[in-house]
Amino acid sequence: MGALKGSISFTKFKARGELPEGFRDTFIERLRLRAFRPLSPLEDAPQSVGWCSIENLLDLEIDHGKVYFETYLNIGLRIDTWVIPGSLFKAHFAEAEREHLAKKGREKLGRQEKEELKAVVTKRLRAQLMPVSKLIDLSWNLDTGAVRFWSQSARLHELLDEIFEDTFKLTLLPESPYTTAARLGLSELESNVFAELKPTAFHVAVF
């Protein structure tokens, strides 16, 4: 959702750090290393996060033509999560518990047995379901350092911070008047004046 179609609501960041020499090839290599990996019902991971084509979340083949457009790097962040409805899990667990107790000739499961049975039921249900997929667009102006991310979720911003730094070896700063001023390149006098500015309220709360 976002850059190509859908929501126009995005969060703006500033990429902090120097681009490495030959960064276009380097970034493609790093994106491929952190490309999305599909979830497996046989594994314990509840979620998978990685890069994919901005045009198609199923396209995991990353190359220059799909990523770069003039001075922009455009990429999709795909997040897959296992979501098992609580009522469905409860019903299947109850059935598995009855079968297990009948087989063992007992009336109650121990704590460890319950945890092990929950894991078995979870893997069984995951094999029958599809994970929930989310695609979030990211567009990065490599000349100005401005990064637009089509989500305002604090949780997704945390995921972005981690994978962005891991992939590009740069950090993200949320866009603000201060980062905008730094990007514009204020003079020493302007910087001193700007540092003394205080927030101003344009309304007065009435109680």
Domain ranges of the chain: 11-83+130-195, 86-126
Run of H or E including 148: strand 146-149
List, run by run, the mean pLDDT of 10-residue segments along the chain (207 residues): 63 95 97 97 94 97 96 98 96 94 86 93 95 97 96 95 97 75 63 63 55
User: How is residue 59 annotated by DSSP?
Assistant: -
Runs of H (alpha helix) within the chain: 23-33, 64-67, 86-104, 111-126, 154-168, 177-184, 188-195
Map tokens 């993200």 to a residue: 172
Residue type, 117: L
Type of residue numbered 181: A
pTM over 0.85: no
The whole-number pLDDT of residue 139 equals 97
Instruction: State the pLDDT at residue 168.
Output: 97
Lookup result for tokens 């994106």: 31
C-alpha–C-alpha distance, residues 48 and 45, integer Å: 7
Count how many Cα atoms sit within 13 Å of the Cα of residue 132 in the half-sphere of its side chain.
Answer: 6
Residue 139, CA atoms < 13 Å, CB-side half-sphere: 15
Question: Tell me, what's the pLDDT at 200?
Answer: 64
* Phi then psi dihedrals of residue 200, to 5 deg: -120, 130
Q: Which pLDDT belongs to residue 198?
A: 66
Dihedral angle sign, alpha carbons of residues 126, 132, 168, 166? negative
Residue 174: its H or E element:
strand 171-174
Which residues pair with residue 12 across a beta bridge?
Answer: 148
Cα-to-chain-centroid distance, residue 147: 14
What confidence tens digit (pLDDT) does each residue in 105-133 have? 888 888 999 999 999 999 999 999 999 99
Phi, psi of 2 (to 5 degrees): 125, -95
pLDDT of residue 60: 97
